[in-house]
Amino acid sequence: MKQKPDCGELSYKGSGRLAGRKALLTGADSGIGRAAAIAFAREGADVAICYLPSEQPDAEEVAKYIRDAGRKAVLLPGDVSDEEFCLRLVADAVEQLGGLDILVNNTGRMGKTEGVLDTSSERFGTLMKTNVYSQFWITKGAVPHMKPGASIINTTSIQGYKPSGKVFDYAMTKAAIANFTKGLAQDLMEEHGIRINAVAPGPVWTPLQEADGEEEKLKKLGQDAYFKRPGQLVELAPVSVLLASQEASYITGEIYGVTGGHGIA
Protein backbone atom coordinates (compact mmCIF):
# COMPACT_ATOMS: atom_id res chain seq x y z
CA MET A 1 0.00 0.00 0.00
CA LYS A 2 1.17 3.55 -0.71
CA GLN A 3 0.25 4.57 2.82
CA LYS A 4 1.14 1.68 5.10
CA PRO A 5 -1.51 0.90 7.74
CA ASP A 6 -0.69 0.31 11.40
CA CYS A 7 -1.19 -3.40 12.04
CA GLY A 8 0.39 -3.20 15.48
CA GLU A 9 3.85 -4.23 14.32
CA LEU A 10 5.40 -1.67 16.68
CA SER A 11 2.48 -0.60 18.83
CA TYR A 12 0.61 -3.70 20.04
CA LYS A 13 1.65 -4.94 23.47
CA GLY A 14 0.40 -8.29 24.74
CA SER A 15 -0.42 -9.44 28.25
CA GLY A 16 -0.74 -13.23 28.01
CA ARG A 17 -4.50 -13.32 27.37
CA LEU A 18 -4.17 -16.19 24.85
CA ALA A 19 -1.31 -18.08 26.48
CA GLY A 20 -0.96 -21.59 25.08
CA ARG A 21 -3.82 -21.25 22.59
CA LYS A 22 -3.60 -22.38 18.95
CA ALA A 23 -5.13 -20.18 16.27
CA LEU A 24 -5.83 -20.42 12.53
CA LEU A 25 -6.47 -17.18 10.65
CA THR A 26 -7.35 -16.81 6.97
CA GLY A 27 -6.36 -13.75 4.98
CA ALA A 28 -3.66 -13.01 7.55
CA ASP A 29 -0.84 -11.75 5.34
CA SER A 30 -2.28 -8.22 5.37
CA GLY A 31 -5.08 -6.05 6.69
CA ILE A 32 -7.38 -7.15 9.50
CA GLY A 33 -5.97 -10.67 9.59
CA ARG A 34 -2.37 -9.48 9.83
CA ALA A 35 -3.18 -7.25 12.80
CA ALA A 36 -5.04 -10.07 14.55
CA ALA A 37 -2.22 -12.57 13.91
CA ILE A 38 0.38 -10.24 15.41
CA ALA A 39 -1.84 -9.51 18.41
CA PHE A 40 -2.63 -13.20 19.01
CA ALA A 41 1.07 -14.10 19.02
CA ARG A 42 1.90 -11.31 21.44
CA GLU A 43 -0.91 -12.54 23.67
CA GLY A 44 0.74 -15.98 23.78
CA ALA A 45 -0.90 -18.00 20.96
CA ASP A 46 0.74 -20.16 18.31
CA VAL A 47 -0.58 -19.01 14.96
CA ALA A 48 -1.24 -20.59 11.55
CA ILE A 49 -1.95 -18.14 8.75
CA CYS A 50 -3.60 -18.75 5.37
CA TYR A 51 -3.01 -16.48 2.38
CA LEU A 52 -2.78 -16.52 -1.40
CA PRO A 53 0.54 -17.88 -2.69
CA SER A 54 1.21 -14.57 -4.44
CA GLU A 55 1.32 -12.89 -1.02
CA GLN A 56 4.23 -15.01 0.27
CA PRO A 57 6.54 -12.04 1.07
CA ASP A 58 3.85 -10.41 3.24
CA ALA A 59 3.14 -13.74 4.95
CA GLU A 60 6.83 -14.17 5.73
CA GLU A 61 6.78 -10.75 7.44
CA VAL A 62 3.85 -11.80 9.61
CA ALA A 63 5.59 -15.08 10.46
CA LYS A 64 8.64 -13.14 11.63
CA TYR A 65 6.52 -11.04 13.99
CA ILE A 66 4.91 -14.21 15.36
CA ARG A 67 8.28 -15.87 15.94
CA ASP A 68 9.75 -12.70 17.42
CA ALA A 69 6.97 -12.95 20.02
CA GLY A 70 8.30 -16.40 20.91
CA ARG A 71 5.41 -18.29 19.31
CA LYS A 72 5.12 -20.89 16.57
CA ALA A 73 4.21 -19.64 13.08
CA VAL A 74 2.72 -21.97 10.46
CA LEU A 75 2.39 -20.77 6.86
CA LEU A 76 -0.41 -22.34 4.77
CA PRO A 77 -0.75 -20.76 1.31
CA GLY A 78 -3.75 -21.49 -0.90
CA ASP A 79 -7.07 -20.32 -2.30
CA VAL A 80 -10.05 -20.59 0.08
CA SER A 81 -12.51 -20.45 -2.82
CA ASP A 82 -11.67 -24.14 -3.31
CA GLU A 83 -13.46 -26.58 -0.99
CA GLU A 84 -10.75 -29.24 -1.11
CA PHE A 85 -8.11 -26.71 -0.08
CA CYS A 86 -10.26 -25.46 2.82
CA LEU A 87 -10.57 -28.95 4.29
CA ARG A 88 -6.85 -29.60 3.82
CA LEU A 89 -6.08 -26.22 5.38
CA VAL A 90 -7.84 -27.15 8.63
CA ALA A 91 -6.20 -30.58 8.76
CA ASP A 92 -2.74 -29.10 8.16
CA ALA A 93 -3.26 -26.38 10.78
CA VAL A 94 -4.40 -28.91 13.38
CA GLU A 95 -1.47 -31.21 12.64
CA GLN A 96 1.20 -28.52 12.70
CA LEU A 97 -0.19 -26.59 15.66
CA GLY A 98 -1.08 -29.68 17.66
CA GLY A 99 -4.73 -28.69 17.97
CA LEU A 100 -7.06 -25.77 17.34
CA ASP A 101 -8.64 -23.38 19.86
CA ILE A 102 -9.33 -20.29 17.75
CA LEU A 103 -10.53 -19.92 14.17
CA VAL A 104 -10.67 -16.54 12.46
CA ASN A 105 -12.52 -16.54 9.11
CA ASN A 106 -11.25 -13.31 7.63
CA THR A 107 -10.45 -13.82 3.93
CA GLY A 108 -12.45 -11.53 1.66
CA ARG A 109 -12.68 -10.13 -1.86
CA MET A 110 -14.44 -6.91 -2.85
CA GLY A 111 -14.04 -5.00 -6.12
CA LYS A 112 -16.40 -2.41 -7.54
CA THR A 113 -19.33 -3.08 -9.84
CA GLU A 114 -21.35 -0.78 -12.09
CA GLY A 115 -24.66 -2.38 -11.16
CA VAL A 116 -26.53 -5.64 -11.43
CA LEU A 117 -26.58 -5.68 -15.27
CA ASP A 118 -22.81 -5.33 -15.45
CA THR A 119 -22.08 -7.89 -12.73
CA SER A 120 -20.98 -11.18 -14.25
CA SER A 121 -21.89 -14.56 -12.84
CA GLU A 122 -18.17 -15.27 -12.64
CA ARG A 123 -17.55 -12.26 -10.39
CA PHE A 124 -20.63 -13.01 -8.28
CA GLY A 125 -19.63 -16.65 -7.88
CA THR A 126 -16.05 -15.79 -6.95
CA LEU A 127 -17.21 -13.39 -4.25
CA MET A 128 -19.63 -15.94 -2.83
CA LYS A 129 -17.08 -18.76 -2.78
CA THR A 130 -14.30 -16.64 -1.30
CA ASN A 131 -16.34 -14.71 1.27
CA VAL A 132 -19.16 -17.09 2.21
CA TYR A 133 -18.55 -20.66 1.06
CA SER A 134 -15.05 -20.62 2.53
CA GLN A 135 -16.41 -19.79 5.98
CA PHE A 136 -18.87 -22.67 5.73
CA TRP A 137 -16.22 -25.14 4.52
CA ILE A 138 -13.54 -24.09 7.02
CA THR A 139 -15.91 -23.90 9.97
CA LYS A 140 -17.38 -27.31 9.13
CA GLY A 141 -13.89 -28.75 8.93
CA ALA A 142 -12.69 -27.09 12.13
CA VAL A 143 -15.52 -27.82 14.57
CA PRO A 144 -14.70 -31.54 15.06
CA HIS A 145 -11.18 -30.52 16.16
CA MET A 146 -12.26 -27.79 18.59
CA LYS A 147 -12.95 -28.44 22.26
CA PRO A 148 -15.43 -26.69 24.58
CA GLY A 149 -14.20 -23.17 25.25
CA ALA A 150 -12.94 -22.70 21.69
CA SER A 151 -13.81 -19.58 19.71
CA ILE A 152 -14.72 -18.82 16.09
CA ILE A 153 -14.51 -15.22 14.88
CA ASN A 154 -15.84 -14.15 11.48
CA THR A 155 -15.20 -10.88 9.65
CA THR A 156 -18.34 -9.22 8.35
CA SER A 157 -18.67 -5.47 7.61
CA ILE A 158 -20.79 -2.38 8.03
CA GLN A 159 -21.64 -3.09 4.37
CA GLY A 160 -23.72 -6.02 5.57
CA TYR A 161 -26.01 -3.53 7.33
CA LYS A 162 -25.61 -0.33 5.27
CA PRO A 163 -24.76 -1.48 1.74
CA SER A 164 -23.26 0.74 -0.94
CA GLY A 165 -24.50 0.31 -4.50
CA LYS A 166 -21.05 -0.01 -6.06
CA VAL A 167 -20.31 -3.07 -3.93
CA PHE A 168 -23.82 -4.48 -3.54
CA ASP A 169 -22.69 -8.07 -4.15
CA TYR A 170 -19.84 -7.76 -1.65
CA ALA A 171 -22.36 -6.32 0.81
CA MET A 172 -24.58 -9.37 0.24
CA THR A 173 -21.75 -11.66 1.27
CA LYS A 174 -21.14 -9.66 4.44
CA ALA A 175 -24.83 -9.80 5.37
CA ALA A 176 -24.70 -13.57 4.84
CA ILE A 177 -21.69 -13.84 7.16
CA ALA A 178 -23.51 -11.95 9.92
CA ASN A 179 -26.50 -14.28 9.53
CA PHE A 180 -24.24 -17.34 9.41
CA THR A 181 -22.65 -16.24 12.69
CA LYS A 182 -25.92 -15.71 14.51
CA GLY A 183 -27.54 -18.78 12.99
CA LEU A 184 -24.82 -21.13 14.23
CA ALA A 185 -24.44 -19.70 17.73
CA GLN A 186 -26.99 -21.83 19.58
CA ASP A 187 -26.06 -25.14 17.97
CA LEU A 188 -22.31 -24.64 18.36
CA MET A 189 -22.68 -23.77 22.04
CA GLU A 190 -25.20 -26.43 22.97
CA GLU A 191 -23.65 -29.26 20.94
CA HIS A 192 -19.95 -28.41 21.08
CA GLY A 193 -19.33 -25.69 23.68
CA ILE A 194 -17.88 -23.41 20.98
CA ARG A 195 -18.51 -19.68 20.86
CA ILE A 196 -18.96 -17.89 17.50
CA ASN A 197 -18.98 -14.13 17.01
CA ALA A 198 -18.11 -11.62 14.29
CA VAL A 199 -16.37 -8.28 13.91
CA ALA A 200 -17.96 -5.70 11.60
CA PRO A 201 -15.45 -3.02 10.55
CA GLY A 202 -16.50 0.32 9.15
CA PRO A 203 -14.18 2.61 7.15
CA VAL A 204 -10.78 1.12 7.98
CA TRP A 205 -7.53 1.46 6.06
CA THR A 206 -7.08 -1.97 4.43
CA PRO A 207 -5.59 -3.19 1.14
CA LEU A 208 -9.16 -3.73 -0.14
CA GLN A 209 -9.77 0.01 0.07
CA GLU A 210 -6.67 0.96 -1.92
CA ALA A 211 -7.03 -1.86 -4.45
CA ASP A 212 -10.66 -1.10 -5.24
CA GLY A 213 -11.04 2.58 -4.41
CA GLU A 214 -10.84 5.75 -6.47
CA GLU A 215 -8.13 8.25 -5.52
CA GLU A 216 -10.57 11.02 -4.58
CA LYS A 217 -12.79 8.62 -2.66
CA LEU A 218 -9.80 7.29 -0.72
CA LYS A 219 -8.95 10.83 0.39
CA LYS A 220 -12.41 11.07 1.95
CA LEU A 221 -12.39 7.62 3.57
CA GLY A 222 -13.55 7.89 7.16
CA GLN A 223 -14.32 11.61 6.98
CA ASP A 224 -17.97 10.91 7.84
CA ALA A 225 -16.95 8.90 10.92
CA TYR A 226 -17.02 10.65 14.28
CA PHE A 227 -13.21 10.54 14.32
CA LYS A 228 -12.94 12.20 10.86
CA ARG A 229 -10.46 9.53 9.73
CA PRO A 230 -10.36 5.86 8.74
CA GLY A 231 -9.68 3.31 11.45
CA GLN A 232 -6.28 1.67 11.71
CA LEU A 233 -6.08 -2.10 11.73
CA VAL A 234 -4.46 -2.24 15.16
CA GLU A 235 -7.68 -0.65 16.46
CA LEU A 236 -9.64 -3.76 15.43
CA ALA A 237 -7.23 -6.32 16.87
CA PRO A 238 -8.23 -5.91 20.55
CA VAL A 239 -11.82 -6.89 19.71
CA SER A 240 -10.62 -10.14 18.13
CA VAL A 241 -8.36 -10.77 21.13
CA LEU A 242 -11.31 -10.30 23.49
CA LEU A 243 -13.55 -12.66 21.51
CA ALA A 244 -10.77 -15.26 21.31
CA SER A 245 -10.05 -15.12 25.03
CA GLN A 246 -11.83 -16.65 28.00
CA GLU A 247 -12.75 -13.13 29.08
CA ALA A 248 -15.54 -13.50 26.49
CA SER A 249 -16.73 -16.82 27.96
CA TYR A 250 -20.38 -15.63 28.05
CA ILE A 251 -20.40 -13.98 24.61
CA THR A 252 -21.68 -15.77 21.51
CA GLY A 253 -23.81 -14.94 18.47
CA GLU A 254 -22.79 -11.28 18.64
CA ILE A 255 -21.60 -8.85 15.96
CA TYR A 256 -19.08 -6.30 17.23
CA GLY A 257 -19.07 -3.09 15.21
CA VAL A 258 -15.79 -1.16 14.89
CA THR A 259 -17.20 1.62 12.75
CA GLY A 260 -15.97 4.95 14.05
CA GLY A 261 -19.46 5.78 15.29
CA HIS A 262 -21.53 4.68 12.30
CA GLY A 263 -23.09 1.76 14.18
CA ILE A 264 -24.50 -1.40 12.61
CA ALA A 265 -28.14 -1.15 13.72
d(C-alpha 210, C-alpha 203), whole Å: 12
- Which amino acid is residue 256, in one-letter code? Y
CB atoms within 10 A of CB 239: 20
CB atoms within 10 A of CB 206: 26
Alpha carbon separation from 78 to 3, 52, 83, 257 (Å, rounded) = 27, 5, 11, 29
3-state SS class at 74: strand
Active site includes 12?
no
3-state SS class at 1: coil
Choosing from 170, 226, 250, 256, the catalytic residue is 170
51 touches 79 (CB < 8 A)? no
3-state SS class at 103: strand
Just list the catalytic residues: 170
